[in-house]
Amino acid sequence: MTEAKRIETGRVLVVDDEPQIHRFLKPALEAAGYVVLRAERGAEALRLAATLVPDVILLDLGLPDLDGQDVIVKLREFSDVPVIVLSARDQEAQKIAAFDAGANDYVEKPFGLGELLARIRNAFRLIATGQGVPTEAIEIDGLRIDEAARSVSLDGAEIHFTKTEFRILAALARHRGKLVTHDDILRAGWGGVHDSDRTYIRIYIRNIRQKLGTFADRHIRTRPGLGYIFE
């Protein structure tokens, strides 16, 4: 008896101006059960994101008409679709800039197909995490986190967080007074644990701290080598 093959579902938009990337990714993604959409320019990617509504976007940063970071910024004006950056840019500052623009994940070229498919599966799992979301808001010292509405306010003023930032902040607040390990944060933010993601944790924590200002100074404590505690 042959083992049944697991088939994924969903639309993946691949945005890259290199034909070989499309030739490499399209059959692999289709074999995994995904519908593959293609764009070679930033403007085309934005149009397809608005009209065909992909579930996940794989985005190269070096596009001929728009820088990929600008594409992410424009995309975030109307969509929270998970964006996985595929780029040869390997400097930390470039990665941070992509995350600050609104990227959810970052994979350096050249990359392994198995790892990329795992990250795509994680992105789809995160899309589905709306099931079982707590209905009661978390309220701490003027901070209000409403997981059902995916909203955060501090002293009545709403603060915008990306989906990944929101998931990490909510995980910290739900476990107030307890150590939230790096692995816990990876599961909350990415849906799984990948060693290469650990360097990104501090980027997201830094963004959260900046947005919460002095509140974060009072309540978010770092435990070097272990994780964080929300006090």
Q: Are residues 21 and 97 in the same domain?
A: yes
130, pLDDT greater than 60? no
With 50 as the cut, is the pLDDT of residue 208 above it? yes
pLDDT at residue 52 in the model:
84
Question: What local confidence, expressed as pLDDT, does residue 23 receive?
Answer: 95
**Residue 133 in this model has a pLDDT that exceeds 70:** no
Q: Are residues 188 and 202 in the same domain?
A: yes
pLDDT at 167 > cutoff 50: yes
Q: Are residues 69 and 111 in the same domain?
A: yes
Instruction: Tell whether 33 and 123 lie within a shared domain.
Output: yes
Q: Please give the share of the chain, as a percent, with pLDDT higher than 90.
A: 48
Look at residues 67, 101, 129 and tell me which one is the last residue of a structural domain. Answer: 129
> 83 with 180, same domain?
no
Q: What's the rounded mean pLDDT across residues 130-141?
A: 69
CATH number for the domain spanning 159: value is 1.10.10.10
Going along 33-167, which residue ranges are E strands?
A: 35-39, 56-59, 83-87, 105-108, 138-140, 143-146, 151-154, 157-159
Q: Tell me: pLDDT of 5 over 70.
A: no
CATH of the domain at 64: 3.40.50.2300
Model confidence at 211: pLDDT above 60: yes
Same domain, 63 and 168: no
Q: Which of 109, 129, 149 is the last residue of a domain?
A: 129
129, 150, 170 - which closes a domain: 129
- Structural domain harbouring 73: 11-129
194 assigned to some structural domain: yes
Same structural domain for residues 87 and 15? yes
Same domain flag for 157 and 178: yes
> 85 with 41: CB under 8 angstroms?
no
Read off the pTM.
Answer: 0.60
pLDDT confidence of residue 77? 75
How many structural domains compose the chain?
A: 2
Q: What is the pLDDT of residues 40-67, one digit of tens each?
A: 999 999 888 888 889 899 999 999 999 9
The number of beta carbons lying within 10 Å of the beta carbon of residue 209 is: 16
